Amino acid sequence: MKAELVEINGVHKICINGEIYNPVSFRSFWPQPNTVNNFEKHGFRLMSIFPSGILCSLKVPYSQFGEVWEGEGKYNWENLRKQIDMFVENAPNAYFSLMVHLDTRDWFLKENPECSDTFKYLAQTCGYQKWRESAARFMCDLIDYIDEHYPEKVYAVFLFAGGTCEWYTSDDKGYYHPLKEQVYQNWLSDKKTKLPNFEELHNTDYGIFRHPEKRKEAIWYWRFHNEIIRINCNKPD
């Protein structure tokens, strides 16, 4: 499959195998067969699939099909097939964007107690190489499986992690964490640097603005916070 963004008369479109599609997609965390079918009947050809076993902030599963990522290199492919088969049956002409949920699972946190839950504490964990490698393996294995069993169906891949699946750190009030401090020191190339405390991180001098010299530690930290998450968005491994 060849999928790319193209510009036609100043408007961006999606080109899949030479055919042009408007960049409008059906997405639902709890898709129902009749809804999927109705969207296809009304001309929608782009849809999203979301294999996930994570609970959302409402404490209900993001996906009603069940967890796929059950351990390091261990997958419940049946749960994945249930979701994709429902789409294929009700929208046989659709192409899919794959939403890969990279957040730490309970089994990973149990095996790595030094690691924080990325769904809430993303900035504390996104520099943790073991999670990065495990998440990258899951992503690659997931794509490989779909390519093998559902060829020519996936036109795009989106990586999800953090609060609301949008790479937010829901809770970063300056809590100390040794993993975060180690990554912060590496980022600054200074092994003696300590993480700023809550007061240092949140004090300002001119309304919402900080004095660039007096508050340089806070400025460094918030730049690190954004950069370390950006790096994970671009390259999970």
Give the mean model confidence (pLDDT) for residues 189-196: 91
Is the separation of the CB atoms in 100 and 159 below 8 Å?
A: yes
Q: Is the pLDDT at 63 greater than 60, yes or no?
A: yes
pLDDT grade, residue 236 (50/70/90)? low
Q: Is the pLDDT at 237 greater than 60, yes or no?
A: no
Is the separation of the CB atoms in 177 and 127 below 8 Å?
A: no
For all residues of the chain together, what is the average pLDDT?
A: 92
> Cα 228–229–231 angle (5° rounding)?
65
Percent helix, strand, coil in the chain (nearest 5)?
40, 20, 45
* Lowest pLDDT segment from 50-54, 57-61, 68-72, 231-235: 231-235
Look at residues 65, 70, 36 and name the one whose alpha carbon lies nearest to residue 50. Answer: 65
